[in-house]
Structures are given as structure tokens and as C-alpha cells.
Amino acid sequence: MVKEIEVEPVTRLEGHGGLRIVLGDDGKVKDAQFNITSTRFFEKFCEGRYCEHVPRITPRICGICPIPHHLTPTKAVEDAWGVQIPEPARKLRILLQNAKQYSSHLLHFYALAAPDFLLGPFADPALRNVVHVINKMPEVGAMALKMMDFGQKLCAAIGGKSVHPICAIVGGMKKPLDEDVRDKFLKDVDEQIEFTKKTVEIGLKVVEDYWDVIANVGVVPTYYVGLTKDGVHDIYEGDIRIVTPEGKKIDYAPQNYLDALGEHIPDHSYATHMYYKPAGYPEGIYRANTLAMINAADKMATPLANDALKAFREKTGPISHHTFAFHWARLIETVEAIEVIATLLKDPDVVNPDCKTLDIEPKEAAGVGVTEAPRGLLLYNIWSDAAGICKKLNLLVATNHNIAGIEKSLMHVAKQVFEDKALEGLKLPDPWIK
Amino acid sequence: MPVRVAFMQLSSCWGCHQSLLNAHLGLLPILPELEIVYWPAVVDFKHESLVARPDGDIVVGFIEGVARTKQDTENVKLMRKKCKVIVAIGACACYGSVKGLANLYDKEELINRKFKETESITDDDPKEPTEHVPGIEEFIVNVKDIIDVEMFIPGCPPTTDNIIAAISYLLTLVGEGPDSLKKNSTICETCNLLKKGCLLDQNILCYGSITAAGCEEMCPNNGELCYGCFRPTAKPHEKSKQLKDILDNVLALTPEQGASLQHFLDLYLGASNITNFYFRGDLIQRLGYEPESFATKEVNGRLILDVAPTGNAIMDEIVGRAMHLLKDDPSFKFSSKTVCSHCERDVADKVPTELKRDYEGLPTMDKCFLEQGYICLGPVTQAGCGTICPNKANAPCLGCYGPPVGVKDQGAKFISALGSLCANREPEEVMKLIKDPAGLFNRFTLAESTLGHKFHDKMEGE
């Protein structure tokens, strides 16, 4: 008898999705699907809007990563209209992007992912959540909350609001950071660096505990997509970098994205499947997000993060296909984020009022903006008419870049679980929280 | 006892959840008060566990997002069955938010752009996904037009403070009250004035006869009348008939009586002074927002509003009569403030000296945006956000808190305001600035608006 295993909904996820695994009579996995069950059509209803207002609509695509969804379309319009922005505005945006990276990665690590490995895979589902983690590990919980709070408050200080910011405008930023506000963050940032180091320690302990799982479950060779600037890890600007399963790196200027990125419309998911066009579908399925960024980078942009990258590569090799290593990769990026934040808070440009180009003319042209959102590459391609009205918009968001890769990993793991019984001999640690 | 709650996420962005989680350490006192039985964003209960619960089993159900898919619509109805109180949290659930802008297009146009025409699509013959996906609704219909909603928390997203305030307030409403509360007794029974000279005998409105006993600072014993802050008793005192007679004999309220009734209803029905969210179950707020939504009935030759907040006939008649009197009373004002009324920018007359698009120049922080020539929706937007955009971020108000009380269409209201502010200008000059009225003025409320969009066209055509 054909057996269908359904997980509805996938929880601790910031969107809508279900998993479906179909097993045949022979116990073989026939199908594995990741069904994304919601979509909202931003790419259509942004048509007809003023281009400068598109970045004030699109943050509503994602409440966890509204900042990249604010900055990226702004960059796309600037690209279309040929607008240069003052250096202080650029630095302020980089600070904002990193503040978001920091709080989002910590939210993911502590609130979304940690319940899995702190309670273990066999815990009571009623308890396997962040509330229980906070109750059982109050010191770690309080530290995690203070870290997320720092990141979100910094987002709000620059963005106006941390969720759905309004600070960026075509030509720069609406205002610099206030000096007294900057001073408050500067006072707290050293403590945050210490918290980050502690978080990395916790992460490394988890890696050690679960190494058997990381090294043996869900090791799936795929392509990867990420953003790098001259080969260095960057989340605000640079080139789209494709990494082949063998570790070869190929760079594309954002404007040439159609040469690299193909979109397949699956029959069973509203989120489309992205893949590396020259390799074809499904062979060219890639993964995005933290592990992809770490695989793409020649080096990290800051010293502590670069040390963390070296330690990672010593364990996994120059390219890692370990699905469970996404968490570790996320921590490396978290270290970089807090180092960038610490550096930029000391930079006088972030309080410099010269943060907006004043003379701007709309132009009939297309533009591309790319950044790296916390969950993966984010690309906006906008077409403006001569009056500066958006005629057309193409949006390639992190979800698109991840779904095909997740489904491929799911198929791989389903076969390991149901066909090879690979979980049976696996070494699992005693849960930290019992 | 923790209160049983559920959070339902429709098609949305997670931002309302993030705004709640932004309380961070502020969450710690609230979490133990909640028994969370469904919240996919945070906890691991699956959909089938919600379906399996008895109807009405959950006290408060929060709904976030818009009903974009058929599954969303089913989930809205499911929540109504399972929850006693439904809270629409955020601009999406209240009035559609930016996702309502999709109502400017037919479903086919939306689907074609996303699944067929996009430049990066490589399939030869791409089609709308149909397998194990729920199907797309023709248009976005707001949650309150699918089911009854008791409470609305506006904002995109609502501020953390607004959400925490709303949750805390709800917890007090469904809580058990102070230990001293005596539901089976009334204020009259321990009132010194009962023998010395009851206020009702002097034709003064006092509400002790229908109010539960147990307060330690007895207002009547200090010469003040009782306004009912200990809320309905289970057993009204016989003096309540006298209170009802006074109300029955009122033809038009004096200003003092009007103020007294409003103060009484505020306290007695558990209303609060929080105006940054709308609690439909709060009858006095509903009387302000939607006075025509109540049915009227006649009792003993007197008109009353048909409400039953206490479950006791005489007390419900007193409340219904009081509300009927207030409804048409000119001194009854349940006005809400606008973003403008809280904005710190200097304002003279709001008349623009020139008209600008938002990328032009850079506004100063000290002067009204409209006077500087930038479109700002402050005059037609409900207050409660803390005026973050205009005062902290140098950005004009986009209108995300929706219209203030009594304004049906935020966009139409703004157009009429802009018309009078620009009375001395050529219409062509103004029109040059506003090539996209729907996106500028109804960005968050288009699904609510009747401004000629396709959903309403279709409804009217049928």
C-alpha cells in the first residue's frame, strides 16, 4: 500500500509550508515534496506604483527580513535612474543590513532552531519551543533575548521601525543616526561581542554533540548561490556567485542575473524553484542561505569571522554539503555582523547629515538591485517609465532560491530514513534539556 | 490560570509576530499567563490538533494576515468555531494592508505575471501550480467580512507596545477579578446612603444597584456616586428598578447625564481608555465606531438597543437604554485622534507651498510634511503608532494604522482633504503629483475601499 506522510504545517517557519513524503509498497520513497501554500503577488500589484514607493510596499514580503526588502528595491531604482548615493548613506545602509542580519540570525538560532537540538528530536512537541528553552535555561534565554533586542533596536534606530522600515529613499537615507542614540549602542556593543562569542561556544558544543548527524545525515551535493564582493563575503553589495558541487566559483554581475538564474514553476508549490541555468533543471538546483554564503566566500570581511571560517573549513573541507551545517555557517555570519556593527558605530559617517543626493530625475530604464537577505540572495529587477512609475517588477526572493534545494535535501534524507534506516545506528547526545 | 490562546497566520509576512517578539524580555511576565495551543510560527502543534479541539475551547484567537488562499478562508472559519474571542491583529487582518492592492487586478492577471510571464521563468509552458496547494481566492475579502471579529489591532505592524497592551487588556477581561469581588451582592447592600438618602431618590444616576460588591473604597460612602467599576453583579438590587425608571423618563440627556452614562458604560462594560485598537466586543467603542450596527427594540414603550452584556434582563435593559440615549446625544463623542494630533512637527495650516515627489530634495525634521510639499497621510490616519515615521525617521505617514473612527474610506477622505488644501492651485498641477491615488492613499485599505476597484465592480455586477 502506498503510504503518504504529511507534515502540516511545518512549524517554526516564517512562511507557510507542508511536507509530503510518499512511500511505495516496496518501502521506497516515491516522492518528496515541500509545498509552499501561500503567495501574495507583490510582483504584480507593485505595477503602477511610484518607483520610490515600491520599497515602502515590499518590506511586507517578510516581517523577519523587511530591511533587505527595503534596501534592495531602493538600489534597483537607483540603478535604473542612474542615481549615486553619498558614502555616509551607503555606510548607514550597511550598518542597518548587518543589524538585521544579527537579530535575524539569532532569532533563527535560538528561537526557531535551538529547540530541536537542545531538547533533542524525540522531545514532546508541546515543549519543543523557545518558551520552554527560556524556562529551562534562563541565563542563555536572557542572553539570547538581549542579543535579539540589540539588533532589533539598532534596526529601529536607523530604520524608524525595525519591522517595515521607512528610512531609505532613492538617493540615500532620510536621516543619519542621531549621535546620542549612536552613543548608547556604542556603549553596549562590547557586551554584544562577548555574547556572540558565548553563542559560538554553545554552537560549537552542539556541533561536537551532533557531529555524527551532521556528517552523515543530509549531506547533499548541490550548487550554491551567494553574494561576494571581490570574492569576500558581503551582504549589501557585490556579484552573484555560483559555486558548483565540486567547488568551482563563477561570478555574475547583478545586471546579468538572467544568464545564471533560471526559474522553474513546479506543479506543487507556490514558491518557484530556482536553479543554475547553464546546468539545467533539476541538475542545476542550488541552495542559498548561510551555508551557500560560506561556500561562496573566499574569506570573511572581518578578522574574528575569518578565524571562525577557517575553523569551519578545517572540519568540513573547502566546500561543505552538510545540510545541518547551515546553523554553524549562520554563527560565522553572526560574528561578522557584530564586527561590522562595532566598526561602523565608530565611523563618523553614520551620524553625517550628508546622506541624500538632492537632485534626482526619473528615467525610463530597467534596474537591478541585489543584497543578501538573512535567508539567501535577494534580487529586484524593476522597470521604470519616464515619469518614474513602476511598469514591471521581477522579484527573486530567498524563498525561491531555497525551495528546490530544500526539496532535494528532503528527498535525500527521506531515502536515508525510510530506505537505508540510516538513523538507527546514529550517535545522539543526551538532550541538554530533559 | 493561564488563558488558552491560539495564533493563526494567514497569508502574511510574519511581521506582527516579529513585533510581538520584539518585546523580548518584556515577554517574560506575559508568557506564563498564556496557554498557547496553536502558533505554528513558534510552537510545534500541527493543524490537525486545532481541528480536533471542541468548538469554543480556545478563549482568545489571534488572526494575522489576509485570506489570499482558499486554505486561509477555511482557517478563518475554523478559528471562529474554536475561539470565543477573535482578535484581528495587524493591518492585513483588519483591512487588507498592501496585499489588498492585488484587488486592483483580476486573479488571472496576478497568476499570469507570477507563474507564466516572469523574465526568469525557463519552462516552455509554465502553469499555475495546482497539486497539494490550496487554490487562490478571486479577491481579498477582509477577515471581518468572512466572520464576526471582536477586536481589531491596527498597524503594519502594530507596535510592540500596542500588542502587549491589547493582550494584557484581554487577560484582565477574561480573568477572574480581585479576591474581594462578591458577584452575588451589590454595592447598595453595604451603602451608607441607602438609609441616609439614596442618590436615585434625588433623580441622580447612580449605578450601585447593578454593580457587584467587594470594592474597598466605597464611593457612595464618601459622597460620590457609584459608576459601576466592579462590573455587573449576578443579582441586581431592587433599587435597579428605580434606576431604570429614571432612564425611561429621560427624553433628552442633560450634558451631566450624558457624561455620567458614558463614564458608567466605560467602567461597567470593561472598556478602557486605550484607543489604538478597536475591540468590537466593547459596546461603547462599537457605539462610537458603528452605531448603526445595533438592532433597536421596544421595551415598555421605550426604545433600547438590543444588547445583552450581563445576561440579566433588567441590567441589559438599563445598559441598552443608556446606549440608546447616548447614541443620538450630541455630547457623546468617541473620537479617535489622528497621527497629526500627536505629531511633533510645527504646523500652521498644512497648505503646501509646492508639491513634491518623495525622492525630491530632503525634508527638514521640524516642519509639517504637507507644508513642505510632501504627501503625508497623518490627517487621515488613526493615532497609536507613536508617530515614529514623521518624528523619528523623517518619513511621511503612509497610513498603516488605517482611518480614524468615523472615516469609512481613508483614501477618499485624503483626496477631499488634499482638495481643500490645494484649493488655490490648478487641478492639473495637483493631478501631476498623484498619478497613483490607490497606491498612495489606499495603500493599506484598498481591500476595504469602494474606490472603483475590481472586487467591488464585480460584487456590484452580480
DSSP at B356: -
**Any idea how long chain A is?**
434
Q: Name the residue among B22, B357, B394 with its Cβ closest to that of A50.
A: B357
Interface check for A159 against chain B (CB to CB < 8 A): the answer is yes
pLDDT at B211 (0 to 100) = 94
Say yes or no for a CB contact (<8 Å) between A53 and B440.
yes
Model confidence pLDDT, tens digit, residues A160-215: 999 999 999 999 999 999 999 999 999 999 999 999 999 999 999 999 999 999 99
Q: What number is the ipTM of this complex?
A: 0.94
In this structure, which amino acid lies at residue A81?
W
Interface mutation vs chain A, best among B34, B89, B116, B120, most A CBs within 10 Å: B120
Q: What is the CATH number of domain A42-350+359-418?
A: 1.10.645.10
The count of C-alpha atoms lying within 13 angstroms of the C-alpha of B296, restricted to the half-sphere facing its C-beta, is 15
Is omega for the bond preceding A9 within 30 degrees of 0, making it cis?
Answer: yes
Contact, B265 vs B341, CB < 8 A?
no
Q: With an 8 Å Cβ cutoff, are A41 and B114 in contact?
A: yes
Three cell numbers at A135? 524556562
Positive or negative, the Cα torsion across B103, B108, B109, B115?
positive
| Least confidently predicted of A418-427, B175-184, B196-205, B232-241 | B175-184
- pLDDT tens column, A261-276: 999 999 999 999 999 9
What span, in angstroms and rounded, lies between the C-alpha atoms of B213 and B230? 7
Report chain B's mean pLDDT, rounded to a whole number. 89
Structural domain boundaries in chain A? 42-350+359-418
As given in the structure block, the three cell numbers for residue B267 are 467602567
Interface A:B, Cβ pairs < 8 A: 259
* A45 to B110: CB separation less than 8 angstroms, yes or no: yes
Residues in B touching A169 (Cβ below 8 Å)? 358-359, 395
Beta strands B278-279 and A17-23, pairing class: unpaired
A374-408 confidence digits (pLDDT tens): 999 999 999 999 999 999 999 999 999 999 999 99
Helical spans, DSSP H, in A107-161: 114-119, 130-136, 138-159
pLDDT of residue A100: 98
Phi-psi region of A355 (alpha: psi -120 to 50; beta: other; left: phi over 0): alpha
- For the CA atoms of A377, A145, A117, A4, what is the dihedral angle to 10 degrees? -60
DSSP per-residue letters across B124-136: SS-----TTS--B
Percent of chain A at pLDDT exceeding 70 = 100
The one-letter amino acid code at B300 reads N
Say what the pLDDT of residue B428 is.
85
Task: Check CB contact under 8 Å for A360 and B130.
Answer: no
Q: Pick B44's closest partner by Cβ from A37, A45, A129.
A: A129
- pLDDT computed for residue B224 by the predictor: 83
Cell of A44: 504584480
Q: Any idea what DSSP says for residue B308?
A: -
Instruction: For A299-353, write each residue's pLDDT tens digit.
Output: 999 999 999 999 999 999 999 999 999 999 999 999 999 999 999 999 999 999 9
- 3-state secondary structure string across B157-226: CCCHHHHHHHHHHHHHHHCCCCCCCEEEEEHHHHCCHHHHCCHHHHCCCCCHHHEEECCCCCCHHHCCCC
CB-CB contact of A423 with A48 (8 Å)? no
User: In this predicted structure, which of A327-336, B59-68, B269-278, B357-366 has the lowest mean pLDDT?
Assistant: B269-278
Confidence of residue B453 (pLDDT cuts 50, 70, 90): low
pLDDT at B270 over 70: no
Instruction: Quote the mean pLDDT of chain A.
Output: 96
pLDDT for res B276:
62
CB B134 within 8 A of CB B69: yes
SS3 A92: helix
Structural contact between residues B53 and B78, judged by C-beta atoms closer than 8 angstroms = no
Q: Which of residues 324-383 of A touch B (CB under 8 A)?
A: 356, 358, 360, 362, 381
Residues of chain A contacting B357 with CB distance shorter than 8 Å = 50, 52, 388
pLDDT band at B457 (very low <50, low <70, confident <90, very high): low
Closest CA to A108 of A119, A117, A120: A117
Rounded-to-integer distance, Cα A229 and Cα A190, Å: 27
**Chain B contact for A64, CB < 8 A?**
yes
Q: What pLDDT score does B33 carry?
A: 85
Q: For the ranges A52-66, A182-196, B162-176, which has the lowest average pLDDT?
A: B162-176
pLDDT value at B296 more than 70? yes
Of B48, B114, B365, the CB nearest to A39: B114
B456 has pLDDT over 70: no
Share of chain B above pLDDT 70, in %: 94
Contacts of A111 (CB under 8 A, 6+ apart): A12, A130, A144, A148, B21, B42
Distance (Å, whole) CA A340 – CA B173: 47
Q: Is the pLDDT reported for residue B259 higher than 50?
A: yes
Q: Answer whether residue B458 shows pLDDT above 70.
A: no
- Angle (CA) B422-B427-B429 rounded to 5° is 85
d(CA A291, CA A311): 14
CA distance B365 to chain A (A): 9
CB atoms within 10 A of CB A87: 13
**Which residue type is seen at B377?**
L
Contacts of B389 (CB under 8 A, 6+ apart): A160, A161, A166, B395, B396, B397, B398
DSSP state of A298: S
Q: How far is A396 from chain B (nearest CA, A)?
A: 9
The whole-angstrom separation of Cα B334 and Cα B288 is 5
Give exposure, B295-323, as e/b (b: 16+ Cβ within 10 Å): eeeeeeebebbebebbebebbbbbbbbbb
**Is residue B462 predicted with pLDDT exceeding 50?**
no
Q: Which domains does chain B have, with CATH numbers?
A: 3-174 (3.40.50.700), 182-327 (no CATH), 337-462 (no CATH)
Selecting from B16, B43, B122 the residue whose C-beta is nearest the C-beta of A262 gives B122
CA dist A42 and B314 (Å) reads: 54
Q: Is B112 exposed, middle or buried (0-12, 13-18, 19+ CB in 10 A)?
A: middle
Chain B partners within 8 Å of A86 (Cβ): none
Residues 263-322 of B with CB under 8 A from A: none
Contacts with B363 from chain A: Cβ below 8 Å: 174
pLDDT digits (tens, 9 = 90+) for A253-262: 999 999 999 9
Distances (CA, A) of B362 to A91, A169, A171, B175: 18, 10, 10, 50
How many Å from the N-terminal Cα to the C-terminal Cα in chain B? 50
Q: What is the mean pLDDT of residues A115-136?
A: 88
pLDDT digits 0-9 by tens, A142-166:
999 999 999 999 999 999 999 999 9
Which pLDDT score is estimated for B217? Answer: 67
Q: Is B450 helix (H, G, I), strand (E, B) or coil?
A: coil
Side chain identity at A63, as an amino acid letter? G
What is the spatial distance between Cα A380 and Cα B135, in angstroms, rounded to a whole number? 26
Q: Strand pairing of B3-9 and B34-38?
A: parallel
